Amino acid sequence: MNKYMLILFESSENYASMTPQEYQNEINEHAKWITELGERYHSGEPLENESYSIRGKDKIVTDGPFIEAKELVSGFYIIHANNLEEATELSKGCPILRLGGSVEVRPVMHFEM
């Protein structure tokens, strides 16, 4: 099987108005989905909002994400699937979609070093 990265995008405001119990319920939904994926689940982590970008030959550092950004990368999963279509179908179960977020499905390139 091949590896696929599911990149999670969502509004930075999704959790701002949630109670601690609502937030915990969302975490529980992700844990439930991971369990449903079974051996297809490889790894995954939520990401903090704070970030830096390094660009170009001059290695210019900028901070972000910026306030005007509507969607932020909030986390990722790496899953195993036979092909991109299967990985895409599996990603439809991601709980982030219930909150209006989106999932980008990308094959992880395999190469020997």
Q: Is 56 a residue whose pLDDT tops 80?
A: yes
**Sign (positive/negative) of CA torsion 75, 33, 10, 3?**
positive
Give the number of other Cβ atoms within 10 Å of residue 11's Cβ.
Answer: 15
Yes or no: say if 87 and 79 are a contact pair by the CB < 8 Å rule.
yes
Yes or no: say if 52 and 62 are a contact pair by the CB < 8 Å rule.
yes
Smallest CA-to-CA distance from 79 within 96, 93, 59, 60 is with 93
Mean pLDDT of 48-61: 89
| Mean model confidence pLDDT for the chain | 91
Q: Is 40 a residue whose pLDDT tops 90?
A: yes
Report the pLDDT value the prediction gives residue 66, as an integer from 0 to 100.
58
For residue 69 the two structure tokens come to 């950004």
CATH superfamily of 2-107: Dimeric alpha+beta barrel (3.30.70.1060)
Report the pLDDT value the prediction gives residue 50, as an integer from 0 to 100.
83
Q: Is 10 a residue whose pLDDT tops 60?
A: yes
For residue 10 the two structure tokens come to 């969502």
pTM: predicted TM-score of the whole model, two decimal places: 0.87
Report the pLDDT value the prediction gives residue 68, as an integer from 0 to 100.
55
| pLDDT-derived band at 84, boundaries 50, 70, 90 | very high
